[in-house]
Every structure is written in structure tokens, then in C-alpha cells.
């Protein structure tokens, strides 16, 4: 097979992971105040339970899942609810947010809790336990994990694909998880395989993390069929469809989910989180975050309580350099810039990347010269050059015919464009415009 | 902690280092050896022709192009490439006019960089060929037969609209010799360039080296020159094999006339070549077939210019027919062509 362990097209941005690749994960102290938005995941925002003045322990539920495609939000530190109202959200908008004044001298011990025993649970019960713990995909998309565990009627899952590719530059969140907590990853895989009823799991890790590959291989339990594969280092290898292509040589049909091929994909961080749920009973209240980039004084990998404000995280990393000019949540390829230092780290925040003026300085755009590099970059085999011209002419319906829906906004086209045409941005706006058109018609 | 002044830009926040001006200027750089060869063979005449054509192109871009568009380098390329397709003895004012026409009507009327259908340099040359057919086919005899390197190879300094005084010995190009006098030229002089012809027609190996340099930097699509040259070699080889006396050999076809500069520098113009790689093969094979057909069965000794211009016209159709097959889907019907 010519493209085994990789996919076709894609780009090679410098991975810049050396800044934090070997920095051990440290626990960040609890901040003075937490801000926990009710909307931290794909699906419906959680329904508020807490009221101003409530005294909460670490791990107490603040908001309940609203329906199946939703998860609850838990307090990530003991304290008092001081406010429920609008607060800056990492997506750039304002969102309903529970603020907690953290108790300064609390030991931060969670209440005694029942630890679910996974062995005896039916798949349905595992799904409920995972939802109760508020687990979402920790790779960035923050889609509720339990939803993926219930395959639709008539589909049979045969393989669990574990995503340890981490193709975004700078980020080492998954890398450190695999190196430092391999047993948790494997335990999470065990629970997952049990819940899904599959007997095969494949872990895909980009080859620029040889230590992670080795450790995962060495620590794999003997009684499970778990293989660890080193993948070609290429962006966006970590995107589900590309990962499945690389590991199983299967193409997820357009508009379909991996489950249609009998595959479930989980990020290593999510699996480690599931392991914690079934080992300690603790819900998802903290996560590993890479704080990196040329603009941060002390690049680190931190365990951060969910709801910690960006300001506190940066301060703990000795602040930013004088020429720091842009702060990004997530990786630099798909992450979103932060306008407000009060925006909190949420469940899906994989990293905090601080860029300097050198990286974020706007570059002049030139007309498209049809060099075709975007076509060679697009992992979905679209024609970004044509789509870009259609977007400029606001011909959205024709963009739909040209398969705009298959664009996942990975930004590979913008990355290679010698004319600095903001293709990915144009596609995001076009998708939104199409969405508006559709709702207006309906 | 001091509060940074926060910028907000759209993702991706990383950019590959290459840029459009960088691509253009690296083409100019790769042309320098070709220009040097032209000057070596044709003396000051080469300089006059190149300078006049480039000046015409650049001044037109400056006058009618969008602000700052001069610095993207595309007008300079048009001028230099046009100059390299012209005979050394061409009057400077004609060169200037060709450059101005190429940029003005070959590019700017379409909307500037990226919008034109035809290669501007070749359009400039086609314009000159139609306007001044005699001057465009006057080839000075190979310079070594001339005593003085400094002597002009023609009436370069003729005043506009005055019939040029041709007082130098002229003779035909190798292709002309082949076509009209059935005389063949030896191969080695063809490769290194001491033959009659246009400025850039003569040093095939130097042009090839420039092409390799650009391909290595991903500043041209190697599929285009490779498919053109391979098609010409195969097609000419086939004919030569059928009747060696009537049809010239493939190497002669490769290194004679404007094929090298056409395949490496003209056909690979990104704007006027297909955007897909599959399209690039189709485009190159089409050019190769047309070149051989025109040279052998056409009424002209040389067919590179018309072959490329003809295939330029087909690029929108080639693009449409070679849309990539979307991941997880069949080919998407590209019902719409890019808006102008």
C-alpha cells in the first residue's frame, strides 16, 4: 500500500514542539477565581443548577446535561458561587458563566464518591457514567464522548482508533499524557473496548514522538489487542478522517461519521480522562494544557483546573515577553485568538500559544496566481483556489456544489498560499453564510 | 504581568515562507544565466532588446497596473521573456511596443496579475509577429563570423516607423534551414547556443539548468516541461523512426528553436497553466504534440508560441475536466468556472 500510515496531500509546518516536549506536566495552583461557562462542549449548553451564594466542593455538579448530546459542568475547586452571568468565552463571544471564589485554605479534597466498577457495567451504564462525569473530546473539538459510544442501530463497531497524532505545532498535551500516564491511556482503552464490544484498538502517534510510541508499546496490556503505529509527521494527521485513512486505509464517506465504517475514534487525553472517571470517580474538572510559543517566558505543560482564567495561566508561566502580540487557544493552525485575558480555559482547550509580532504581523495579500499549491495541500482533495474565487464573488451555492461541506477548515490551503489569501477564513465565513441562507429558507 | 496589546487574526496563524513576489523574483534570478548567454552570443544588441522589452512591460504596468503591482515582479518577467523570444537585430522601439502590448493587452485588460488567459510575453510576441513579420524573421548570422563583438546585430536603434536598415549578413535558423532548405544543423552547437536564432532560443542547456533550479524550489510545476519535452521527443522520435530522411531526430527537435524556453519558462507560467497536476500533464502533452505538428506539417518553421497560446486557451476546460476527486466522494461536478 503506497500511503500506509499516512494520507495524501497535507502540509509540513515546523512542529515547534521542542519548547515543551520534554517538560514534565506540573499541577498549577488553584487560582483565586474560576469562570465556568455552561457552554464548553458540542451540543446543547448545560442547564444551570447552582445559585449565587452556594458553597461547592471540588467535583460538585454546577450544571446538568440538557438532553443526550450535552454534558454536565462540575466545580473544579471548592468555593462559593459569586456570580452567574455573562463572561468572556474563548470563542470570542460572551457566554453564561458560573464564577466561583475559590476557598484559599481548602484542602480541595472532593467529597467521598462512588467509583463505578466498569467490569460489571453494561455498555448503556458505561455511557451514562461517562456522560455523568462530563467527559468531552479533549483533542480540541470537545464533542461529548459518550455520544460516540452509542453506535446507531445496525452498525457494528470493529475497531477503536486512538488519536495520539497531535499534529498541531507547539502542542505537547497528548504527548505528555502518553509519556507520563500510559497506564491511564491503556485503562481508558480497556473500558472503551468493553463498552463498545470491540477486540481491536489501534493507537496512531506521529513519529516525532518516538518516546510516546515506545512507552505505549511497552506498557500495552497483554490480554488486549492493542497496536501502536508511528505515523508520518504531517498536518492534519490528527483529523479523524486522515487518521482512519492512515491507520486502516479506509475513507470515511463524505458527510458521514467514522462510525459508518465501524470505527470509533477517541483522543488519548479523553481516554486518560475516562480512566480517571473509573479509577477515582472524579469528573472532568481539570486538563493538561500546553502553554508555549515564542511569546511566553516559561513554556510549560500544566494540569489546569477547568475555568482557570487565561491571565492566571500566563502569570504562572512568568508572563509574556514584551513583543507578545497574539494569544491563541488551541494550536496555531486551527486555534482561535483570544481578545480577553479573562477568558477561561475550558474542557476543549488543548493549548495556550503566545505568538510575537513576528508571527502575527499581517502579510500583504496578492491576487491568486493559480499556482495550485492549495490543491496539493488540501487533505480533502478540494479545489481551494476555485472555492476562494467563488467565495469572493459570494457565490455560495456554487461553493456547495464544489464540496465546501467537506472542508474541515484545517487551514492547510491558507498555510501554503504564496499570495496570502485567507482561504480558510473565507471558507468559514461562507459556511456561516450558507447556514444563514438555509435557516432563512426553513 | 504587563498586559500585551492583543491582535486578533484568523487561523492558521502560521504561514509558509514562500510568497508570490518571491516566486516571481526567483524566476527573474533563474533567467540571469540565460540573459548572460544571450549577451555573450549577441553582444550589446541583446542588452538593447532585453532592456527595451522590459522597459515597455514595466512602464505599462506602472502606468496602468494597480498600485504597487510593479513589485510583484511579474511585469519584469514578461519583459525579459518577451525579449528572449526576439531576434537580436530587432529595433528597440518594436521591442518596447511588444512589452507594452504584452502587459497591457495580455494582462492588464483582463484585470491584472492572475486574471489573464494567455501568456503575456507570448501575446506580445504574437503581436509583433503579426505587425512586423519581416523584422521578426530576420536572423543575424551567428556572431563568430562577425569580427567585432561590440557591433550591433541589426538596426537596433532604428527610429520608430522607419524601415530598418539591414546591413548585416542574415541567414536562417536551424529550423528554417530544416524546413525550407532541408539542411540539418549539428547537435552540439544547438545545445550550447552558437547558432542563429532569438536571444533565448540558443542556449538550451542553460535554460534547462534554470528550469531545474526553479523546479527544485517548487517555483514551477515540473510536470509541464517534462511532459512537453517527453512528448516532443517521443513524437519526433516516432516520425524519425518511420522515415529518418524526411523527419529530423528527437534531439534536434528538443534543442532547436524556442522549445526549451517555451517549455521551461512560457508554458509553466502559473497563471496561464492548469491548476491541477493532472491538467498539467494534459497541457504539456498537448503543447508537445502541437509543436511537432506545426514544425513538421505547418507552414511555419517554428510552432512553440502558437502551441502554447492555443493550449492557454484550453486551460479553463482542462481545469474543469481534471478536478480532483474529493476525499470520501466521487469527483465533484465543477459546474462553475472561476468567476473572472
> What is the per-residue pLDDT across A211-247, written as a single tens digit (0 to 9) for each?
999 999 999 999 999 999 999 999 999 999 999 999 9
At B5, list the grid cell. 496589546
All residues of chain B having their beta carbon less than 8 Å from the beta carbon of residue A389 are 338-339
At B204, list the grid cell. 538550451
- Please state, in angstroms and rounded to a whole number, the distance separating the CA atoms of residues B226 and B314: 19
A&B contacts, CB < 8 Å: 198
pLDDT confidence tier of residue B185, bands split at 50, 70 and 90: low
- Residue B31, min C-alpha distance to chain A (Å): 19
Instruction: Determine which of A6, A314, A371, A387 to mutate to test the interface with B (most B C-beta atoms within 10 Å).
Output: A371
Please give the model's pTM, rounded to 2 decimal places. 0.91
The answer, yes or no, to whether residue A363 has pLDDT greater than 80, is yes
Q: What is the pLDDT of residue A2?
A: 46
Instruction: Determine which of B8, B13, B67, B283 to mutate to test the interface with A (most A C-beta atoms within 10 Å).
Output: B13
Grouping H, G, I as helix, E, B as strand and the rest as coil, residue B122 is: helix
Helix pair A182-196, A123-132: axis angle to 10 deg? 130
Instruction: Please answer yes or no on whether A337 and B277 come within 8 Å at the CB atom.
Output: no
Q: What is the pLDDT of residue B192?
A: 64
Enumerate the β-bridge partners of residue A327: A354
Instruction: Please answer yes or no on whether B19 and A339 come within 8 Å at the CB atom.
Output: no
Q: What is the pLDDT of residue A5?
A: 86
Place of cell 510559543: A293
Is some CB atom of chain B closer than 8 A to the CB atom of A306?
A: no
All residues of chain A having their beta carbon less than 8 Å from the beta carbon of residue B14 are 13-14, 169, 332-333, 359, 415
The answer, yes or no, to whether residue B164 has pLDDT greater than 90, is no
At A316, list the grid cell. 504562572
Average pLDDT over residues B187-197: 68
Grouping H, G, I as helix, E, B as strand and the rest as coil, residue B128 is: helix
Enumerate the β-bridge partners of residue A88: A94
Share of chain A above pLDDT 90, in %: 82
The answer, yes or no, to whether residue B144 has pLDDT greater than 90, is no
- Please state, in angstroms and rounded to a whole number, the distance separating the CA atoms of residues A108 and A77: 6
The answer, yes or no, to whether residue B26 has pLDDT greater than 80, is yes
Could you please report the per-residue DSSP string of A186-217? HHHHHHHHHHHT-S-EEEEEETT-HHHHHHHH
Restricting to B residues 258-277, those with a Cβ less than 8 Å away from any Cβ of A are 270-271, 273-277
Q: What is the pLDDT of residue B139?
A: 73
- Please state, in angstroms and rounded to a whole number, the distance separating the CA atoms of residues B275 and B323: 9
Instruction: Determine which of A370, A396, A406, A420 to mutate to test the interface with B (most B C-beta atoms within 10 Å).
Output: A370
Is some CB atom of chain A closer than 8 A to the CB atom of B16?
A: yes
Tell me if A158 sits within 8 A of A290, measured CB to CB.
no
Q: Mean pLDDT of all residues in chain A?
A: 93
pLDDT confidence tier of residue B183, bands split at 50, 70 and 90: low
All residues of chain A having their beta carbon less than 8 Å from the beta carbon of residue B67 are none
Is some CB atom of chain B closer than 8 A to the CB atom of A339?
A: yes
Place of cell 522520435: B237
The answer, yes or no, to whether residue B332 has pLDDT greater than 60, is no
Q: Mean pLDDT of all residues in chain B?
A: 86
Average pLDDT over residues B7-15: 89
Could you please report the per-residue DSSP string of B182-248? -----HHHHHHT-SSS-GGGS-HHHHHHHHHHHHHTTSS-THHHHHHHHHHHHHHHHHHHH-TTTS-
Instruction: Determine which of A252, A355, A366 to mutate to test the interface with B (most B C-beta atoms within 10 Å).
Output: A366
Kindly report whether the peptide bond that precedes residue A56 is cis, defined as omega within 30 degrees of 0: no
Instruction: Please answer yes or no on whether B11 and A328 come within 8 Å at the CB atom.
Output: yes
Instruction: Please answer yes or no on whether B338 and A332 come within 8 Å at the CB atom.
Output: no
pLDDT confidence tier of residue B181, bands split at 50, 70 and 90: low
At A222, list the grid cell. 497483554
Tell me if A45 sits within 8 A of A10, measured CB to CB.
no
Tell me if A77 sits within 8 A of A34, measured CB to CB.
yes
Of B10, B115, B326, Cβ closest to residue A422:
B10
Restricting to A residues 41-100, those with a Cβ less than 8 Å away from any Cβ of B are 92
> What is the per-residue pLDDT across B92-139, written as a single tens digit (0 to 9) for each?
999 999 999 999 999 999 999 999 999 999 999 999 999 998 888 777
Total Cβ atoms within 10 A of residue B209: 15
The answer, yes or no, to whether residue B1 has pLDDT greater than 80, is no
The nearest alpha carbon in chain A to B7 belongs to A326
How deeply is A214 buried, as exposed, middle or buried, from its count of CB atoms within 10 A (0-12, 13-18, 19+)? middle
Instruction: Please answer yes or no on whether A366 and B19 come within 8 Å at the CB atom.
Output: yes
Tell me if B10 sits within 8 A of A427, measured CB to CB.
no
> How high is the ipTM of this complex?
0.87
Cβ contacts of residue A143 below 8 Å, gap of 6+? A41, A42, A43, A136, A137
The answer, yes or no, to whether residue B141 has pLDDT greater than 70, is no
At A238, list the grid cell. 490528527
Q: What is the pLDDT of residue A267?
A: 95
Is some CB atom of chain B closer than 8 A to the CB atom of A416?
A: yes
The answer, yes or no, to whether residue B233 has pLDDT greater than 90, is yes
All residues of chain B having their beta carbon less than 8 Å from the beta carbon of residue A420 are 15, 19
Higher-pLDDT residue of B173 and A217 is A217
Amino acid at each position: 500500500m503506497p500511503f500506509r500510515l499516512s494520507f495524501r496531500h497535507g502540509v509540513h509546518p515546523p512542529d515547534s514542539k521542542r519548547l515543551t516536549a520534554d517538560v514534565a506536566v506540573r499541577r498549577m495552583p488553584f487560582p483565586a477565581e474560576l469562570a465556568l461557562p455552561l457552554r464548553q462542549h458540542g451540543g446543547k449548553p448545560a442547564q444551570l443548577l447552582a445559585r449565587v451564594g452556594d458553597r461547592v466542593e471540588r467535583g460538585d455538579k454546577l450544571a446538568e446535561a440538557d438532553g443526550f448530546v450535552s454534558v454536565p459542568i462540575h466545580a473544579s475547586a471548592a468555593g462559593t458561587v459569586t456570580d452567574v452571568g455573562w463572561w468572556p468565552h474563548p470563542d470570542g463571544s460572551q457566554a453564561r458563566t458560573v464564577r466561583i471564589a475559590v476557598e484559599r485554605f481548602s484542602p480541595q479534597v472532593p467529597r467521598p464518591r462512588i467509583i463505578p466498577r466498569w467490569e460489571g457495567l453494561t455498555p448503556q451504564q458505561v455511557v451514562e457514567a461517562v456522560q455523568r462525569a462530563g467527559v468531552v473530546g479533549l483533542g480540541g473539538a470537545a464533542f461529548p464522548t459518550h455520544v460516540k459510544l452509542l453506535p446507531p442501530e445496525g452498525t457494528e463497531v470493529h475497531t477503536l482508533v486512538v488519536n495520539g497524532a497531535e499534529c498541531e505545532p507547539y502542542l505537547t498535551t497528548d504527548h505528555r499524557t502518553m509519556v507520563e500516564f500510559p497506564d491511564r491511556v491503556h485503562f481508558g482503552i480497556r473500558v472503551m473496548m468493553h463498552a463498545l464490544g470491540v477486540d481491536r484498538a489501534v493507537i496512531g502517534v506521529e513519529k516525532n514522538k518516538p518516546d510516546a510510541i515506545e512507552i505505549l508499546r511497552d506498557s500495552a496490556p497483554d490480554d488486549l489487542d492493542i497496536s501502536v503505529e508511528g505515523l508520518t509527521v504531517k498536518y492534519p494527521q490528527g483529523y479523524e478522517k486522515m487518521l482512519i485513512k492512515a491507520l486502516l486505509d479506509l475513507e470515511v464517506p463524505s458527510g458521514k461519521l467514522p462510525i459508518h465504517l465501524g470505527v470509533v475514534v477517541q483522543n488519548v487525553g479523553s481516554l486518560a480522562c475516562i480512566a480517571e472517571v473509573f479509577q477515582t470517580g472524579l469528573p472532568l474538572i481539570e486538563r493538561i494544557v500546553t502553554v508555549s510559543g515564542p511569546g511566553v517566558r516559561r513554556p510549560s505543560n500544566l494540569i489546569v483546573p477547568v475555568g482557570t482564567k487565561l491571565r492566571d495561566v500566563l502569570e504562572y508561566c512568568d508572563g509574556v515577553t514584551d513583543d507578545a502580540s497574539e494569544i491563541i487557544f488551541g494550536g496555531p493552525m486551527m486555534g482561535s485568538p483570544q481578545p480577553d485575558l479573562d477568558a477561561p480555559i475550558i474542557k476543549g482547550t488543548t493549548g495556550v500559544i503566545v505568538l510575537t509580532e513576528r508571527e502575527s504581523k499581517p502579510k500583504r495579500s496578492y491576487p491568486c496566481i493559480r499556482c495550485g499549491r492549495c490543491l496539493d495541500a488540501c487533505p480533502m482533495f478540494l479545489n481551494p483556489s476555485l472555492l476562494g474565487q467563488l467565495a469572493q464573488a459570494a457565490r455560495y451555492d456554487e461553493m456547495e456544489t464544489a464540496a465546501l461541506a467537506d472542508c474541515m477548515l484545517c487551514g492547510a490551503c491558507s498555510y501554503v498560499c504564496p499570495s496570502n489569501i485567507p482561504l480558510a477564513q473565507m471558507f468559514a465565513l461562507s459556511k456561516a453564510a450558507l447556514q444563514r441562507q438555509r435557516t432563512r429558507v426553513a | 504581568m504587563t498586559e500585551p496589546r492583543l491582535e486578533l487574526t484568523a487561523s492558521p496563524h502560521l504561514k509558509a515562507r514562500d510568497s508570490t513576489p518571491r516566486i516571481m523574483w526567483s524566476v527573474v534570478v533563474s533567467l540571469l544565466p540565460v540573459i548572460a548567454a544571450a549577451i555573450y552570443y549577441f553582444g550589446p544588441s541583446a542588452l538593447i532588446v532585453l532592456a527595451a522589452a522590459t522597459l515597455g512591460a514595466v512602464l505599462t504596468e506602472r502606468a496602468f497596473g494597480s498600485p504597487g503591482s510593479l513589485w510583484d515582479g511579474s511585469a519584469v518577467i514578461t519583459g525579459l521573456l518577451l525579449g528572449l523570444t526576439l531576434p537580436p537585430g530587432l529595433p528597440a522601439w518594436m521591442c518596447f511596443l511588444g512589452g507594452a502590448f504584452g502587459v497591457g493587452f495580455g494582462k492588464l485588460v483582463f484585470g491584472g496579475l492572475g486574471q489573464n488567459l494567455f501568456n503575456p510575453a507570448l501575446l506580445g510576441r504574437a503581436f509583433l509577429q503579426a505587425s512586423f513579420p519581416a523584422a521578426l524573421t530576420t536572423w543575424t548570422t551567428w556572431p563568430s563570423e562577425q569580427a567585432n563583438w561590440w557591433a550591433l546585430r541589426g538596426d537596433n536603434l532604428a527610429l520608430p516607423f522607419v524601415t530598418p536598415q539591414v546591413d548585416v549578413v542574415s541567414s536562417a535558423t536551424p529550423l528554417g534551414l530544416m524546413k525550407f532548405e532541408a539542411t540539418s544543423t549539428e547537435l552540439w552547437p544547438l545545445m550550447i547556443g552558437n547558432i542563429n536564432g532569438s536571444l533565448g532560443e540558443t542556449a538550451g542547456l542553460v535554460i534547462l539548468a534554470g528550469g531545474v533550479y526553479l523546479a527544485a524550489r517548487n517555483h514551477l510545476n515540473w510536470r509541464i516541461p517534462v511532459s512537453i519535452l517527453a512528448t516532443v521527443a517521443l513524437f519526433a522520435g516516432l516520425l524519425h523512426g518511420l522515415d529518418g530522411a524526411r523527419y529530423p531526430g528527437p534531439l534536434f527537435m528538443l534543442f532547436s528553436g524556442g522549445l526549451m524556453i517555451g517549455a521551461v519558462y512560457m508554458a509553466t507560467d502559473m497563471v496561464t497553466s492548469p491548476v491541477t497536476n493532472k491538467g498539467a500533464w494534459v497541457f504539456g502533452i498537448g503543447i508537445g504534440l502541437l509543436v511537432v505538428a506545426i514544425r513538421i506539417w505547418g507552414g511555419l518553421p517554428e510552432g512553440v508560441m502558437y502551441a502554447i497560446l492555443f493550449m492557454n486557451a484550453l486551460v479553463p476546460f482542462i481545469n474543469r475536466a481534471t478536478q480532483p476527486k474529493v476525499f470520501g466522494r466521487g469527483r465533484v461536478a465543477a459546474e462553475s468556472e472561476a468567476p473572472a
